[in-house]
Amino acid sequence: MVNQDRLFGVKLDTRRVVLLAVLIALQLVIARFAISLTIYRISFGFIVTALMGWWFGPVWAGLAAVLGDLINSLMIGVRAAISPVSRYQPS
Give the pLDDT confidence of 41-75 residue by residue, as tens digits: 888 888 898 999 999 888 888 899 899 888 888 88
Q: Which helix (H) or strand (E) holds 25?
A: helix 14-30
pLDDT at 23 (0 to 100): 94
Q: How far is the C-alpha of 12 from the C-alpha of 10, rounded, in Å?
A: 6
Write the DSSP symbol of residue 36: E
Model pTM score:
0.70
Predicted confidence (pLDDT) per residue in 76-85, tens digit: 766 555 555 5
Q: Which helix (H) or strand (E) holds 35?
A: strand 34-36
pLDDT at 81 (0 to 100): 54
